[in-house]
Amino acid sequence: MNPIPVNTPLLNGNELQYLTQCIETGWISSEGPFITKFEAQFSNYIGCSHGIAVSNGSAALDIAIKALNIGPGDEVIMPAFTIISPAQSVVTAGALPVLVDSDALTWNMDVNQIEAKITAQTKAILVVHIYGLPVDLDHILDLAKKYKLKVIEDAAEMHGQTYKGKMCGSFGDISIFSFYPNKHITTGEGGMLLTNDSELAERCKKLRNLCFEPNGPRFVHHELGWNYRMTNLQAALGLAQLEQIDHFIDKKRAMGASYQQGLLPLKAKGYQLPLEKTEYSENIYWVFGLVAPSPEEKERMVNLLTENKIGTRPFFWCMHEQPVFQKMGLFKNESYPVAEKLARNGFYVPSGLGLSEPELATVVSIFNQF
């Protein structure tokens, strides 16, 4: 049996044609014409007035935090259950992540636990939409208004997902996307910041480009930034991918529906499958995750899948249990039981856009042998 990787991207639209144009014209740096096209078309697709393309999603988070002037003494509320990128950006900016436990069904930050975490130091709520279903944004927006907080939306797993009919990534003061190869559209490595605030957009552009002064003398800097620029080659890929996004989302939803049906018998064995929908969104299955009834059961199942050359990945590991943060003295004696259970019992199965129907059927059959 051929191995079934946990992710394979689909690159069979205009990707090769646009990349060839880059090579033929010599435009391979961040100065090329695909950058502004991709920024305009992606921001337009999400419904924001400005898009700032960057080298990856984690870079976009660094820029978002700095653009909002979040630094030492400030607190940022975010989920305990997330990829490390948002927490890393906050910590490296000198600010403090304040963690919130997860909702057991959507796996997103439990919005009912946020208000109790707000202090005089709170600057922002950093929303991380998890695995295919968004956070219940209305609660967040109400709190942000009441306490005058900024909202940062990490929509890296949410391309094309909507909340009550409006695009995720269009709600935050700043939102970010990643275009890593396992996201709904990819540029290899890449990311984008989106905002409706033209001043913030200018700040993001400056921060991505070493804080060169747009109007001052060249090579004289008043502030530190990064070289987080995207290349024209990446943007060429992104543009070709964006042309296919509706099809990609349909494909992900079809994959999700097939897994839901095929893996239904697991529910009787105590497994939790992703919610198909909530009252505000329908799952787009960035990945198809499962929560086993125990860590031992997860290990047994993951081993069986591995023996059959089927790729899996564990769920995120919680921020308060990260050795790197513990060594810094962060999150001492904190506990988030729902997030901890997700981290210990959760894993996901092959769910990339390149997954074929027979491959999906193979994955399902291994589970059901068990």
Ligand X SMILES: *Cc1c(COP(=O)(O)O)cnc(C)c1O
Look at residues 145, 169, 152, 147 and name the one whose alpha carbon lies nearest to residue 97.
152
Choose between 178 and 367: whose C-beta lies nearer to ligand X.
178
Smallest distance, ligand X to C-beta of residue 25, A? 26
Q: Name, in order, each residue with C-beta under 8 angstroms of 286's C-beta and a sequence gap of 6 or more.
A: 131, 132, 157, 158, 182, 183, 184, 252, 351
Which three-class secondary structure state does DSSP give residue 183? coil
Smallest separation (angstroms) from ligand X to the CB of 108: 11
- CA 45/CA 31 separation, integer angstroms: 22
Q: For ligand X, which is the closer residue by CB, 348 or 367?
A: 348
> CA 257, CA 261: separation in Å to the nearest integer?
6
CB of 48 to ligand X, least distance (A): 18
**Nearest distance from C-beta of residue 58 to ligand X, angstroms:** 3
Q: Which is nearer to ligand X, 178 or 244 (CB)?
A: 178
Q: Which residues make up the interface to ligand X (CB under 6 A)?
A: 56-58, 83, 85, 128, 154, 156-157, 178, 180, 191
Amino acid making up residue 46 = I
Nearest distance from C-beta of residue 177 to ligand X, angstroms: 8
Answer yes or no: are the C-beta atoms of 82 and 101 closer than 8 Å.
no
Cβ proximity to ligand X: between 58 and 244 the closer is: 58
Question: For residues 85 and 272, which CB has a smaller minimum distance to ligand X in the complex?
Answer: 85
Which of 34-45 are b and which e, b meaning 16 or more Cβ less than 10 Å from the residue's Cβ? bbebbbebbbeb
If DSSP codes are grouped into helix, strand and coil, which group holds residue 133? strand
In the complex with ligand X, which residue's Cβ is closer, 157 or 359?
157
Helices (H) and strands (E) in the chain, counts: 12, 12
Which residue matches tokens 């199942």?
Answer: 301
Q: Which C-beta is closer to ligand X: that of 63 or that of 301?
A: 63
Six-digit token string for 125: 């709520």
Q: Could you tell me if 237 and 188 are in contact, meaning their C-beta atoms sit under 8 angstroms apart?
A: yes
CB 121 within 8 A of CB 73: yes
CB of residue 2 to ligand X, shortest distance in Å: 27
Nearest-CB residue for ligand X: 57
Distance in angstroms between the alpha carbons of the first and the last residue of the chain: 18
Query: Given the complex with ligand X, which of 32 and 57 has the nearer CB atom?
Result: 57
* Cα dihedral sign, 341-347-353-355: negative
We find the least distance from the C-beta atom of residue 62 to ligand X, in angstroms, to be 10
Least distance to ligand X from the beta carbon of 207, Å?
16
